[in-house]
């Protein structure tokens, strides 16, 4: 991330995210920082009232606080901005103060760009990268060191492919897609058919992958090509590190997939689905719009829209919590059952 050396005034930033500069609107901030590490020229934020004391004692030039909370920063001498959602305001300010570094258009001498490839204006291709025959890179796109862009791949405008990204043929990226180091898109899906002798034969993996606009994929994640159709990641979705997306999966817009999540083939996620870390989704499962899964959920059945599930197997969250609570009581229940069994035996022996 680069730093904007000139900075911005507090008033300018407040106008950007719809906040209100309570005091110090003319102060200039150049960086974002945590409350604990902030110093002169830094912008910090606080949402939790428990941290207001620490925020009041910090040395930041400006602190963003919830609406109506400016008076609670006792002892703070810097600028104060009130915002409905301080964390969101902080993130929007960070986009201005720390814009992504843009590489000037250039093809490194060690890069291998096929004669039939099409590079838009201002495209950067780093050392050791390979761009295949018929590939198309939109204007402003950055292909960093040792990336492989396969034959016929289409990459939109202002995309960023970090080092060692691999795009197999048949992959299409929209605009402003960010793929972090080691991402592999378009590898064969895991599909095999077993014959009578127990030998596995590969099912055709000849489909495509489409990643829509404004998607970001974390390091070392894999998105497999469709077997016969298309694997799709909807616009604005964010995928963490070490996530596996199987063949023919359909991920709707604005979904969140947290690290080590795995989606088996042909499952479908609606709009705004959130899957916690290490969630596993069985093949052909449908997850409705706005549904959420707690970390380490194992989803084997369809999930209704706007439902929260958890557990292994995943159940509605409240039901899962009740079952977990009952399970924790199980040792005591076993002891009680043994005592009752012994008492029943005593009573039966007394009758004989």
User: What are the extents of the domains in the chain?
Assistant: 8-97, 106-318, 319-351
Bridge partner residues of 82 (DSSP): 20, 65
Local structure of 196: helix, strand or coil = coil
**CATH no., domain 8-97:** 3.40.1390.10
Give the residue ranges of the chain where pLDDT is below 50: 1-4
Report the distance separating Cα 293 and Cα 338, nearest Å.
38
Active site residues: 247
Check: CB of residue 309 under 8 Å from CB of residue 320.
yes
> What digits encode the pLDDT tens for the residues 187-236?
999 999 999 999 999 999 999 999 999 999 999 999 999 999 999 999 99
Q: Which fold has domain 106-318?
A: UDP N-Acetylglucosamine Acyltransferase; domain 1 (2.160.10)
Q: Report the candidate in 187, 186, 192 with the shortest Cα–Cα distance to residue 204.
A: 192
Question: Do 76 and 92 form a contact (C-beta atoms < 8 A)?
Answer: no
Query: What pLDDT does 175 receive?
Result: 98
**How much is the pLDDT for 101?**
84
Supply 120's token pair. 């838009």
106-318 has the same fold as 8-97: no
Determine the pLDDT at residue 324.
Answer: 77
The pLDDT of residue 206 is 95
Q: What is the pTM of this model?
A: 0.87
């Amino acid at each position: 991330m680069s730093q904007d050396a000139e900075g911005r005034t507090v008033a300018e930033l407040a106008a950007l995210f719809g906040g209100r500069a309570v005091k110090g609107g003319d102060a200039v901030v150049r960086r974002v920082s945590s409350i604990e590490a902030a110093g002169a020229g830094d912008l910090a934020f606080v949402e939790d009232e428990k941290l207001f004391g620490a925020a009041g004692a910090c040395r930041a030039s400006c602190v963003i606080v919830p609406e109506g909370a400016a008076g609670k920063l006792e002892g703070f001498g810097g600028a104060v901005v009130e915002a409905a959602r301080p964390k969101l305001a902080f993130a929007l300010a960070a986009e201005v103060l720390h814009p992504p570094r843009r590489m000037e258009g250039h093809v490194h001498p060690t890069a291998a760009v096929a004669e039939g490839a099409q590079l838009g204006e201002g495209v950067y291709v780093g050392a050791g990268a390979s761009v295949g025959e018929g590939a198309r890179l939109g204007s402003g796109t950055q292909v960093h060191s040792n990336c492989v862009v396969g034959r016929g791949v289409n990459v939109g405008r202002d995309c960023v492919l970090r080092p060692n990204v691999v795009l197999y043929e048949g992959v299409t990226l929209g605009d402003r897609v960010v793929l972090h180091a080691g991402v592999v898109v378009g590898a064969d899906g895991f599909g095999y058919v077993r014959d009578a002798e127990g030998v596995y034969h590969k099912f055709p993996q000849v489909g495509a992958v489409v990643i829509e606009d404004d998607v970001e994929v974390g390091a070392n994640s894999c998105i497999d090509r469709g077997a016969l159709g298309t694997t799709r990641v909807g616009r604005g979705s964010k995928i963490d590190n070490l996530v596996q997306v199987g063949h023919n999966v359909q991920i709707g817009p604005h979904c969140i997939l947290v690290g080590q999540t795995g989606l088996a083939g042909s499952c479908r996620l609606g709009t705004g689905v959130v899957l916690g870390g290490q969630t596993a989704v069985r093949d052909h499962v449908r997850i409705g719009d706005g549904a959420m899964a707690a970390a380490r959920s194992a989803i084997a059945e369809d999930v209704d829209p706007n439902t929260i599930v958890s557990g292994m197997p995943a159940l509605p969250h409240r039901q899962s919590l009740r079952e977990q609570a009952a399970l924790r009581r199980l040792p005591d229940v076993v002891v009680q059952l043994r005592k009752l069994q012994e008492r029943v035996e005593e009573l039966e022996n007394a009758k004989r």
